[in-house]
Amino acid sequence: MLTVSGINTFYGTSHILHDVSLQIGDGELIAVLGLNGAGKTTLLRSIMGVNPPRSGRIELLGTDITRMKSHDRNHLGISYVPQGRQIIPDLTVADNIRVALLGKGMNGSQVPGSVFEYFPALKDITERKGGVLSGGQQQQLAIARALVQKPKLLLLDEPTEGLQPSVVEEIQEIIKRIQAERTCSVLLIEQRLDFVGDITQRFAILDTGRIVRQGSISELTDEVIRTHLQV
Amino acid sequence: MLSERATTLQTTNLWLIALGAAVALLVVLVATGTITISQRYISQMMIGVSVAAILVIAAVGLAIIFGVAGVINMAHGQFIMVGAYTAAVVGQLGGNTFVAIPVAFAVVALLGLIVERGIIQWIYDRPLETLLATWGVGIILEVLVKVIFGPELYYVGAPRMLDGGIRLIGRLPYPYYRLFLIGMAILMLAVTFYLVFKTNFGLKVRAVRRNRAMAGSLGINTARIDMLIFMFGSGLAGVAGAVLAPIKSVSTTMGFSYAVDSYMVIVLGGVGNLLGVPTGAFIIGEAETLIATGTNSVIGKLLVFVFIVVAIRIVPRGIFGYQERR
């Protein structure tokens, strides 16, 4: 599905990602772990093209997308749920979803009912402005907006960050469902190790911009956690 | 961030309510005879409305380019001038203003396309450079037009059906052409509002305006949206030139004063909301006309400048403004 080979990404002059390589198979979910500032978000932004890498290569289904603009990557099948959710605040819930449909070149005349199957909570608030939603509602909307595009690869940046426990569970259920139905491949950034253990077989750890470990979840030992994931 | 947005919303509503209340109070006071306004002031206010209409016509193209693409087009006045020259050419070929409007839209939209693709697309994220570059474009346009058309003034007549006027109040007739300008201002605003708020294209435009990176990640070709908006705003400047040509002579330097007026309108009105254009235009148009009635037009203009400077102190982002970009 996705092959990232030796990418180097910069913010201005500061070198954030160093020779990062990563692979995701069809329908697979991989969790990217790491402390704050390790470069997790930058990795997703590099894949999405928001911060393209300066060197290295990113391939999606055999197509070189390294130099592509974000919208072309999206059209090839990558959908993105960014940190902070990035809902368009002055558009309604329905319009936020319609923007995603139109952006992908799909029929955006109305919101397909299937959205509310995954996200029943959104059904009653379709005419509410995105900016006034609660964090949990915004997160559901952000995921709904991505899934409605029928992506091949879904990038999820800390979808449960800053949410209350009951909402965290709801979001986790949705991710489990995506994974169980093998709707698409998922690259998930997550801090909650218990949840990661629940949902995936594979992980990768970023530490100061380098992939220091990757492997199956059984290799995520206490020692690895102590070395790379604790301050 | 959320609370900040909520505050902006409330401030906007507060302004609207205050404005509405002030107008309502004035209407009640006049209707009940508590205060009397002399006929002279009423007819001046009517003229103020048409001045506001001219301001709207001149500013709406600038506002949409600034609001969506974030570019202050310093060549805006010259785009209006090119529209006016287009109307002059159409006039010499036997067409009137109604023919000139679509032609000027097309010509200046094409000019906008050339400027956007040739220059602006490479420097969107560098505001100072877009200022300088568009200023340069303006100078080039003035020189080019002078080379092609010569230094003499051109006169464009109003369509014959818009000759004359109606007698509303007092002895001075209200020219039909001023009514036409008011209609054009409303039409240009309506078309822009429809495009931005009622079409799929407009939905994408609003997404790009609020969050460029996310809009791109959702599959929207943001560069294409910028280009189309630049074309549309330029086209509106062309229309402005075509309909404003009959009220003044057409010259290569005519754009400057319209550009200054347009910048004042969007500075006062704010670019966060398209309603800023008619609001800013109405306040400036009425203030300028009414102050000029008591004094003269130079003092009118001067006091309006002072008023805007004071207003910027109170509402730095304009009446409807908010800051959000990239």
Q: How many Cβ atoms from other residues are within 10 Å of residue B235's Cβ?
A: 24
Asked whether the beta carbons of residue B221 and residue A48 sit closer than 8 angstroms, the reply is no
Chain B residues touching residue A70 (CB < 8 angstroms): 213, 216-217
Q: Residue B87 pLDDT more than 50?
A: yes
B6 located within any domain: no
In tens, the pLDDT along A1-18 reads 899 999 999 998 899 999
Whole-angstrom Cα distance, residue B75 to residue B82? 10
B203 located within any domain: yes
Element (H, E) at A180: helix A165-180
B213 belongs to a structural domain:
yes
Q: Give the structural domain span for B221.
A: 37-314
The region, left, alpha or beta by phi > 0 then psi within -120 to 50, assigned to residue A19 is left
Residue of A nearest to B210 (CA): A88
* pLDDT at residue A41 in the model: 93
pLDDT at B12: 61
Which among A42, A48, A71 is the top mutation candidate for probing chain B, defined by the most B β-carbons within 10 Å of its own β-carbon? A71
Q: Could you tell me if residue B210 is inside a domain?
A: yes
Domain membership of residue B20 (yes or no) is: no
d(CA B159, CA B211): 44
How many separate domains does chain B show? 1
Among candidates B5, B207, B221 on the partner chain, residue whose Cβ is nearest the Cβ of A131: B5
Interface residue A185 vs chain B (CB under 8 A): no
**Cα pseudo-dihedral B39, B41, B47, B49, rounded to 10:** -110
Please state the ipTM of this predicted complex. 0.91
Reported confidence tier of residue A163, pLDDT bands at 50, 70, 90: confident
* Per-residue confidence (pLDDT) for residue B5, from 0 to 100: 47
Chain A residue numbers with beta carbons less than 8 Å from the beta carbon of B222 are: 71
Which residue among B203, B210, B216 places its CB closest to the CB of A71?
Answer: B216
A149 has a pLDDT exceeding 90: yes
CA A150 from chain center: how many Å?
A: 14
Interchain contact, B215 vs A49, CB within 8 Å: no
Highest-scoring range by mean pLDDT, B43-57, B216-230, B267-281: B216-230
Map out the domains of chain A with their CATH numbers: 2-228 (3.40.50.300)
Q: CA-CA distance, B199 to A85, in Å (whole number)?
A: 25
Q: Residue A101: pLDDT band by 50, 70, 90 thresholds? A: very high
Statement: residue B1 has pLDDT above 70: no
Each residue of B307-321: pLDDT tens digit? Answer: 888 877 777 777 776
What CATH number does the domain containing B188 carry?
A: 1.10.3470
Q: What is the CA radius of gyration of chain B?
A: 20
Look at residue B29 and tell me if it is in a domain.
Answer: no
pLDDT digit string (tens) for A13-47? 899 999 999 999 988 899 999 888 889 999 999 99
Residue B188 inside a domain? The answer is yes
- Does B14 reside within a domain? no
pLDDT in tens, B131-170: 999 999 999 999 999 999 998 899 888 888 888 777 766 6
Would you state the pLDDT for residue B17?
Answer: 79
Secondary structure string (H, E, C) spanning chain B: CHHHHHHHHHHHHHHHHHHHHHHHHHHHHHHCCCCCCCHHHHHHHHHHHHHHHHHHHHHHHHHHHHHHHCCCCCCHHHHHHHHHHHHHHHHHCCCCHHHHHHHHHHHHHHHHHHHHHHCHHHCCCCHHHHHHHHHHHHHHHHHHHHHHHCCCCECCCCCHHHCCEEECCCCCEEEHHHHHHHHHHHHHHHHHHHHHHHCHHHHHHHHHHHCHHHHHHCCCCHHHHHHHHHHHHHHHHHHHHHHHHHHCCECCCCHHHHHHHHHHHHHHHCCCCCCHHHHHHHHHHHHHHHHHHHCCHHHHHHHHHHHHHHHHHHCCCCCCCCCCCC
Q: Give B282 to chain A, closest Cα distance, Å.
A: 26
The residue with tokens 């902070």 is: A84
**Partner A, chain B 159-218, Cβ-Cβ below 8 Å:** 200, 203-204, 206-207, 210-211, 213-218
Task: Please check the confidence at residue B75 and state whether its pLDDT lies above 50.
Answer: yes
- Structure confidence by residue, pLDDT tens digits, A169-212: 888 888 888 888 877 899 999 888 888 888 888 889 998 899 98
Report the 10 Å Cβ neighbour count for B161: 10
